Amino acid sequence: MVKKEERAAAESPRERYRAQVRAEIKEHAWQQVATAGASALSLNAIAKRMGMSGPALYRYYASRDDLITELVKEAYRSLADTLHDTAATGADLRALAHTLRDWALEDPHRYLLVYGTPVPGYHAPDDVTGVSDAIMKTLLDACTAALAARPVAPPAPGFLAGHREWAAGHPAPPAALRLALAFWTRLHGVLSLELAGHFAGMGFDPALLFTAELDDLAPR
């Protein structure tokens, strides 16, 4: 009864098929999420569109929440990778912000899946904390660099002196922590209100407001 599949990385054709079907399900799920939001995700509809009948999907995802969790994790990873790639080109904080906005506008529901109202019942799995840390790391790097290049007066550190375990040992000065937090919350404030349609009919371009907030965070 010893598993013989321990032959390192060689995947059996069954596993490859399984992975492919899982990917196809996710693909349909993303399409559904992009058009109607996460709460409108229906396993039945996906199954029908894939030509198989309802319960078959439960071979691939234990539950609807499981699939949604997978989407959340993928979205998180996508954002982390996108930001990391931008940062790797030596981009500054401003470029990072525009990358974030582009990523959000590319698929608004995907952004809301990560940073919006938590979906019905599920709890964010522990897996995302790692990815979340990765996002925070690139953000902290950029903030540290921005402050080193132009030590503009930050919005005052203060309460962060004693609480920096969330930075996961990142060697960023308190001012960088404060800047990263402001970067995150302020840009999310503008972005989420824009994506939720709260600026509709106000007659100004949300992009300009985003840039204005960014100017305050990282002057050009």
Partner DNA sequence: TAGTTCCGTGATAGGTTCTAACTAAAATTG
Partner DNA sequence: CAATTTTAGTTAGAACCTATCACGGAACTA
Q: Which residues bind DNA (CB under 7 A)?
A: 4, 12-14, 17-18, 21, 41-45, 47, 51-56, 58-60, 62-65
118 contacts its own copies (rule: CB under 8 A): yes
165 contacts its own copies (rule: CB under 8 A): yes
Extract the tokens encoding 40: 């409108």
CA 166 remoteness from chain centre: 18
216 contacts its own copies (rule: CB under 8 A): yes
- Choice from 72, 101, 178, 218 touching its own copies (CB under 8 A): 178
Phi and psi for 126 in degrees, rounded to 5? -70, -20
The type of residue at 202 is: M
Identify what 219 binds: DNA, its own copies, none; CB under 5 to 8 Å per kind: none
CB closer to its own copies, 88 vs 208: 208
186 contacts its own copies (rule: CB under 8 A): yes
Nearest approach in angstroms of CB 156 to its own copies is 7
CA–CA gap between residue 129 and residue 123 (Å, rounded):
12
CA–CA gap between residue 115 and residue 124 (Å, rounded):
11
At a CB cut-off of 8 Å and minimum separation 6, what does 183 contact?
93, 97, 139, 143, 217, 218
151 contacts its own copies (rule: CB under 8 A): no
Options 26-34, 93-101, 142-150, 208-216: segment touching its own copies (CB under 8 A) = 208-216
The type of residue at 216 is: D
CA–CA gap between residue 135 and residue 187 (Å, rounded):
15
Q: Which long-range contacts (CB under 8 A, 24 or more apart) does 50-55 make?
A: 50/24, 50/25
Identify what 193 binds: its own copies, DNA, none; CB under 5 to 8 Å per kind: its own copies
| Binding positions for its own copies, rule: CB under 8 A | 36-37, 39-40, 112, 115-121, 124, 129, 155-156, 158-160, 163-166, 178, 181-182, 184-190, 192-193, 196-198, 201-205, 208-209, 212-213, 215-216
